[in-house]
Structure 1
């Protein structure tokens, strides 16, 4: 008995006609709407999905096809920016002259894209030991006298983070104002998240979910638009930011522990005017979730401008994300790559360049600039990892050297070094998610000593990495090549 033939014959003719009519309408609508104000590569990616799976692809596009927050949310972001300007957290920033011409151009580009004013007078410490950085955060929180502002993409309660969580509870108990922001979907999928929010609630700590996706409570936006920032500010005097989340370095997943995966992160501890800028960024995110402007509230007395500065580093805080200047972090990186004269070092767990970034890097090599990429040999994000791998052959052929940190360690540090002059550290990866879909924060530092400190970290990474050779890469199994090439088709979707 030919069951498929019988099933086909049982379908009414009108249903068949209706199916193909809907299929055709979806394809035609996609052709005329998807390319509107969208990169050609992204448009082609979506069209490919919809032409292969018209109905399913069309539904996915309706949910994920617009990299924009709801208008109400964007309005609140604009209001918050106005309130921050009114409080003037950067009004007293020191004017900086001792920078290369291209660095002045970089600063102007960043400010055009929504960055805070560049300022001198900073002290920045690099914390590259995972557990020690959490211990440093906990110690700073324990010393808080006025307030603690805590904002992380992923934060949970577990044995590793216990000192930080306990310090937050204790600070609140002794009368310090503690405000906590945690990305909803970023944290909710990890063991320890429910325990954290229960503890915060029981302690009376004021906390909120960032960009919550709870339609049953009227809270909804595109679910993959997330707040990926990592910021801790204490008393307006000390701040932490970087790539490290507040979670055990195994990320508490059974499959991670089974594979022995361990994350390597990097955080910076800073003092100086940029602390106020990071605090202002926290205030904007807090306002978007609560309608409460906290900038200037519970603040310690501002230090006298005549007093000694914490240090002499020059830096600038650049926020980015949906509703802000689009792709401001990518514009920063491309400008820096084009400005390099000697070397470019990129450390990123996810490196999936678009055409502009790829061409800027290969052009830099053609100008005689050494370009080194540091990435992990393994990753917990299979799709992004395979998309990243699909670029390796092109990059190596163009003269870009790739160093892969040995498994089972997951290299999660995020920074860029330009010559011996400047560095960018922060939360941003090198992919379309960080450039378009996520709220990020980066710190531009123009200082040779700071770059030299990160060079030491790069040397340590190289000792635990192997350089990828073209011959070895081309000999990988065919099925891996197939997976890499297929994943590449998703790299432009936004």
Structure 2
């Protein structure tokens, strides 16, 4: 046993040696009996492996990172918001078909998907929306600033990562100017996501000097009684102006280089996909913000949300899909798997971090083996070593099933996150295709049932694929053995990434 060897090496006194050995055995027994409870087998196995190999250290790490859930009080506030949203919807909405309006073109798979999303996230499928895609990070922030300049009542800003830099400054100055002219500006930024970047202090100083009401999301401040698993983060990106227009997608409110010397030296630039939208779905994105504001502040700002989402029969059909550790189930993963299993002829997935858990891997390979055209767009080299190597370990199995894997060339980090299914369904937002986005991060994505959006995303995909390099199965399996070993080691820990 590892602990016995350590005791021998340290030549501990007999009483201390016996204590350590008893503690070692207790930790192993407790881990085997306790860890599998309500955990996926692969996740439980990952933690068991860590604890059995390095019992004391592994157990301490588990105490900090082992729970996938937010504190009970936060989850209770999320349930309260879900019920409140459901109660404010139109009384004549059919619970079995939670779609506002009478949409003749709606297919049965779309109705089932809408029902699934409503049961999990409390938001219905609504029509009357108009989406616009934005492919340039910095131009998107300029557009956001322009909409904030028009604000009359309120602006809601929620981003995982943000900084006060040359690229984001126009947006921040518009937010500050809006607050100065009497607009209610509320800002949420993730504590860990933003503080690691150089200009975080400059941003917080500007916020404190302004009239903006702002709070940290999921702060790690134990001296203030604020504590949860450190890597449970709010990864959402939302901007809502007056309930009239909203922005969401994959990009953070920061320069595309993320302002680090390492990134600039390597020439790394993040390439994102953001959308702006008008119509009833704006109120759904606003509801997600209101829920998060309530979770962080215990303040319910119902005056800044339309309690009755209108039923509109024209325009693009859409439904917001919130997910994360505040919910009891993996909302985004369930929808993604459902859409894949109901695909008829094609699936396109673009994700910077693709580490599929077992059900997603099974769904994709089943689709490909059923002669459905499955295309995966990923990075040639990601910005994070462990996830990048872990995802590479899945390529051989995917390629063998017939999945096409397209690698976007480095040094650009393709950070867009979307999925196309057939000619009608699309899914776009902040969620990656990995265990972190399915279970650990608070995410927001939007399910869109509209062929025009599919065509627009198909155009984006063609732009990406045009510069990509396709991985060939025969060449891939001949990569060096030492590379395969590293990939497989990283894969073992993929459930804990």
TM-score (norm 2): 0.94
C-alpha contact (below 8 Å) 1:114/1:325 kept by paired residues:
no
**What is the match of residue 30 of structure 2?**
29
Whether contact under 8 Å (1:352, 1:491) holds in the other structure is: yes
Cα contact 1:365–1:371 (8 A) shared by 2: yes
Native 8 Å contact 2:240 2:282 kept in 1: yes
Measured against aligned partners, the alpha-carbon deviations of 1:289-345 in whole angstroms (never above 9, x if no partner) come to: 111111333x79999x69xx7961011111111131411110100000000000000
Q: Is the 8 A contact 2:89 2:308 kept in 1?
A: no
Provide the rounded CA distance (Å) in 2 between the counterparts of 1:115 and 1:230. Answer: 19
CA deviation after TM superposition for structure 1 residue 115, in Å: 4.0
Does the aligned pair in 1 maintain the 2:425–2:447 contact within 8 Å?
A: yes
- 1:449 matched to 2:452? The reply is yes
Please tell me whether the aligned partners of residues 153 and 186 of structure 1 are also in contact (alpha carbons under 8 angstroms).
Answer: yes
Residue 360 of structure 2 is matched in structure 1 by: 357
- Structure 2 Cα separation of the partners of residues 280 and 271 of structure 1: 15
Give the secondary structure class of the aligned counterpart of 2:233: coil
Q: Which moved more, 1:6-15 or 1:249-258?
A: 6-15
CA gap 1:7/1:277 in 2 versus in 1, 3 angstroms: closer
Alignment of 1:268-283 (within 5 A): 268-283=275-290
Note the C-alpha offset of 1:5: 12
Moved more, 262-271 or 250-259: 250-259
By how many angstroms is 1:254 displaced? 1.5
Return 311-320 or 400-409, whichever deviates more. Answer: 311-320
Q: What is the CA–CA distance in structure 2 between the aligned matches of 1:424 and 1:9, rounded to whole Å? A: 56
1:474 positional shift: 2.7
**C-alpha deviation, 1:246, in angstroms:** 0.4
- The within-5 A match list for 1:86-485 is 86-88=87-89, 93-297=100-304, 312-485=315-488
Q: Secondary structure at the match of 2:321?
A: strand
Q: With structure 1 as the length reference, what TM-score do the two structures score?
A: 0.94
**Contact 1:89 1:277 (8 Å CA) reproduced:** no
State the number of aligned residues.
Answer: 487
Partners in 1 of 2:336 and 2:306 — Cα distance?
A: 35
Q: Distance in 2 between matches of 1:66 and 1:149?
A: 30
**Any gaps of 5 or more consecutive residues in structure 1?**
none
Q: Is the aligned partner of 1:73 residue 2:74? A: yes
Q: Over the residues paired in the alignment, what is the CA RMSD in angstroms?
A: 2.3
CA contact (8 A) 1:211 1:289 kept: yes
Question: Residue 124 of structure 1 contacts residue 268 of structure 1 at CA under 8 Å; is this kept in 2?
Answer: yes
Gaps of 5+ in 2: 94-98
Cα distance change on mapping 1:312 and 1:5 into 2, 3 Å: closer
**Structure 1 CA distance, aligned partners of 2:110 and 2:10?**
71
Deviation digits for residues 6-38 of structure 1 (CA, Å, limit 9, x no counterpart):
984843122222222211111111110001111
The offset of 1:93, in angstroms, is 3.7
Tell whether the 8 Å contact from 2:426 to 2:447 is kept in structure 1 after alignment.
yes
Tell me what 2:96 maps to. none
**What is the CA-CA distance between 1:370 and the residue it aligns to?**
0.4
